[in-house]
Amino acid sequence: MRINDRYMWTVFVLPAFFLLILVLGWPAITSILYSFQPTQAGATGYTLASYKSLLKDPFFKTTFWNTVVFVSFSVGSHMILGLAVAMVLNSALPAKPMFRVIALLPWVVPDVVAGIIWKWMYNPIYGALNDLLIKVGILENPVEWLSNPKLAMISAILVNLWRGFPFVMLILLAGLQAIPRHLYEAAAIDGASKLTQFIYVTLPGLRKMIVVALALDIVWEVRRFGLIQAMTQGGPGILTEVLSTYTYKQYFQFFRFEYASAISVVMTVVLLMVSLPYIWMISQEE
């Protein structure tokens, strides 16, 4: 059997496509169907009951806002620190590869490991952080980083800053290196200050990278699970509970499959909306 070369793409692309439909499409659709199923035993048909109880659930509301806070502060701080470190590493500097590796380290360990190291760092009695900050003179008394209700979310975000900024840095560094040097030289000859150069040369040159970094980072931070699960399991109370850990609990601790599916469907819709510009940009370019 010979296939016209025009149609040979099917042989290459379709196996992966059907595999994805099988391992990903099928469960995804199953999950959507769950979310519309009635929860009472014996009841059939489809209902919006899960979505209605979602709107009434104060825990969902809190978890949703926790996620918004966690993601926006994480992503915002990733962008700022990531850009700052990328710009430093893009300048003339000795031992650049070494600094690059050091700055990448927090990103490469598994989520669980990151969560556990920080749980131990934050330990109010035996942990390193209080000891260090007291020695340096920043703190006078030990602080309960993860159990103080006012601090728990901030502490979690600080860990996530540590964990997530390296990837933004890598993307933006790649972007910075692609900006032609003569643009800066031309701007300097015209008398542009460093700040003006940053606003009119650096930022426009990085626009695409910033879109990519923002989209991917938002998606990853919304999905972030292992870090919180290992470090706080959503506590104290539900102060650091985010949508992914909440959904997990609904599934595997309370066995409310329909309800958990409804939460995850809401998450999916949000994530797809956030990443749409990115998906659009790449599929048009290719």
For other proteins, the binding residues in 33-92 under the rule CB under 8 A are 34, 81, 84-85, 88, 91
C-beta of 51 vs 99, nearer to other proteins: 99
In whole angstroms, the minimum distance from the beta carbon of 182 to other proteins comes to 20
Site for other proteins in 162-181 (CB under 8 A): 162, 166-167, 170-171, 174-175, 177
Contact flag: residue 16 with other proteins (CB under 8 A)? yes
Contact flag: residue 204 with other proteins (CB under 8 A)? no
Among 38, 69, 76, 119, binds other proteins (CB under 8 A): 119
Q: Between helices 58-90 and 207-223, what is the axis angle to 10°?
A: 140
C-beta of 166 vs 234, nearer to other proteins: 166
Q: What does the block give as tokens for 146?
A: 């993860």
Residues in the chain: 286
Spatial contact of 168 and 213, defined as CB atoms under 8 Å apart: yes
Site for other proteins in 133-152 (CB under 8 A): none
C-beta of 55 vs 93, nearer to other proteins: 93
Site for other proteins in 218-247 (CB under 8 A): 219, 222-223, 225-226, 229-230, 243-244, 247
C-beta of 48 vs 211, nearer to other proteins: 211
SS (H, E, C) the chain: CCCCHHHCHHHHHHHHHHHHHHHHHHHHHHHHHHHCCCCCCCCCCCCCHHHHHHHHCHHHHHHHHHHHHHHHHHHHHHHHHHHHHHHHHHCCCCCHHHHHHHHHHHHHCCHHHHHHHHHHHHCCCCCHHHHHHHHHCCCCCCCCCCCCCCCHHHHHHHHHHHHHHHHHHHHHHHHHHHCCHHHHHHHHHCCCCHHHHHHHHHHHHCHHHHHHHHHHHHHHHHHCCHHHHHHCCCCCCCCCCCHHHHHHHHHHCCCCHHHHHHHHHHHHHHHHHHHHHHHHHHHHHC
Stretch that binds other proteins, among 36-44, 45-53, 54-62, 206-214 (CB under 8 A): 206-214
Contact flag: residue 4 with other proteins (CB under 8 A)? no
C-beta of 240 vs 261, nearer to other proteins: 261
In whole angstroms, the minimum distance from the beta carbon of 232 to other proteins comes to 11
Among 99, 148, 151, 192, binds other proteins (CB under 8 A): 99
Stretch that binds other proteins, among 51-59, 72-80, 119-127, 145-153 (CB under 8 A): 119-127
Contact flag: residue 203 with other proteins (CB under 8 A)? no
Angle at 207 between CA 204 and CA 209, to 5 degrees: 135
Among 27, 149, 180, 237, binds other proteins (CB under 8 A): 27
C-beta of 20 vs 154, nearer to other proteins: 20
Among 66, 106, 153, 201, binds other proteins (CB under 8 A): 106
The single-letter code of the amino acid at 228 is: I
